[in-house]
Structure 1
Amino acid sequence: MDTIDLLTRAKAIRLAIFDVDGVLTDGRLYLLPDGSEFKTFHTLDGQGIKMLIRSGVTTAIISGRHSTAVAQRATALGIHHLYLGHEDKLIVLDELLHKLQLSPEQVAHLGDDLPDLPIIRRVGLGIAVANADAFVRQHAHGVTQARGGEGAAREYCELIMRAQGTLNAAQAAYL
């Protein structure tokens, strides 16, 4: 995933956006008899997001589904902006660009399916997870080696941090 073009694009990123189902999770929906659901998240992804936030990059989640589990996970990780139940993700992107006074080139998005494609095509760094829909992978700037829910978000975070020169310091803090 580390090509010169990706690193150049990643250097300008000030806002990193994440989809949830298929990106921060493996894409499976676990529905319980009472109508509630549960999701599983990978700790590698969570640590990557925390490091990215500490490096000074603003974070957001945009998901088409409402989920208490996602809201709890976002709070635990310190995600700055949370948008649940938004199927038209470009509306949310425009709101974030305006609110944060950013250009599309300063934004990255990690996605996996067709609802993510408009943002992936519009932002400065659009990344698809390894098991994303083939059409989405074809239009992304890059594709992670890891699958969604299995470390893809960590790769995405580390790419941005590597490009911005903050990854080594973030890792060294654990030595």
Structure 2
Amino acid sequence: MTDVIERAKKIKLLSCDVDGVMTDGALLFTSEGQEIKAFNILDGQGIKMLQNSGVKVCIITGRTSAMVQNRAKNLGIEILHQGREDKIDAIQEIAQDLNITLDQVAHIGDDLPDLPVIRKVGLGVTVPNGADLMKEHAHHCTTRSGGKGAVRELCELIMKAQDTLADAHAFYLK
């Protein structure tokens, strides 16, 4: 865990997959074919706290969904790449735009399209409901599953490593 904390201290950008990470991975459709996604409110609060601490957050997903666009907007996430199966190219573009290195990036993903990113970034994270190969290559696996607070757990891990979590909590304890 010491290695994970050291890696988390350097993070300036958290990159998140959606299905299986920000959601539980279930794809729900109405009878009209409209997609429905359920996001966890704990993750949203964690993302807001992390952003307030100075760490940027982006979303990179292979699918395209108006629901994801709305969720990103609601959370103030300005960097959203949808329909990107080439996630490693996307994260390299984002890092270049932000003038940061890949060792300053954390990425959380659950399946093989995330594997190249997990292997290249400073802090590669997966979830318990992720593919076994992801767990073999990730630096860390959250205790909470995707869609059940895994992103919040990672946000708090980064903030704790960077000594910003107590300040975020202090706002609510006053």
Structure 1 residue 130: deviation in Å? 1.3
The code of the aligned residue for 2:56 comes to T
Please name the residue that 1:31 is paired with: 29
1:131 positional shift: 1.0
Q: 1:143 aligns with which of 141, 144, 157?
A: 141
Matched residues, number: 173
What's 1:108 paired with?
A: 106
- How do 1:129-140 residues align onto structure 2 when only pairs under 5 Å count? 129-140=127-138
Q: Partners in 1 of 2:142 and 2:45 — Cα distance?
A: 17
Correspondence list, 1:158-169, <5 A: 158-169=156-167
Per-residue deviation, residues 14-40 of structure 1 (Å, max 9, x unmatched):
010000000000000001222210100
User: Could you list the runs of 4 or more consecutive aligned residues of structure 1 that deviate by over 4 angstroms after TM superposition?
Assistant: none
Residue number in structure 2 paired with 1:75: 73
Distance across 1 between alignment mates of 2:128 and 2:96 = 31
Cα distance per residue 1:79-114 (max 9 Å; x no partner): 130011111101111111110111110000000000
**What are structure 1's unaligned runs of at least 5 residues?**
none
Give the one of 97, 120, 128 matched to 1:122: 120
Which position in structure 2 is the counterpart of 1:49? 47
Distance of 1:49 and 1:172 partners within structure 2: 17
Deviation at 1:169, TM superposition (A): 0.6
Q: CA RMSD in A?
A: 0.6
Q: Which amino acid aligns with 2:32?
A: D
Q: Secondary structure at the match of 1:174?
A: helix
Q: Which moved more, 1:90-99 or 1:143-152?
A: 90-99
Secondary structure of 1:87's match?
coil
Q: CA deviation at 1:10?
A: 0.3
Aligned-partner SS, 2:60 = strand
Aligned pair 1:12/2:10, yes or no?
A: yes
Match of 1:88 in 2: 86
Q: Structure 2 CA distance, aligned partners of 1:87 and 1:59?
A: 19
- The whole-number CA distance in structure 2 between the counterparts of 1:56 and 1:133 is 31
Gaps of 5+ in 2: none
Taking only the aligned residue pairs, the percentage that are identical comes to 53
Q: Aligned partner of 1:148: which letter?
A: G
Match of 1:60 in 2: 58
| TM-score (norm. length: structure 1) | 0.97
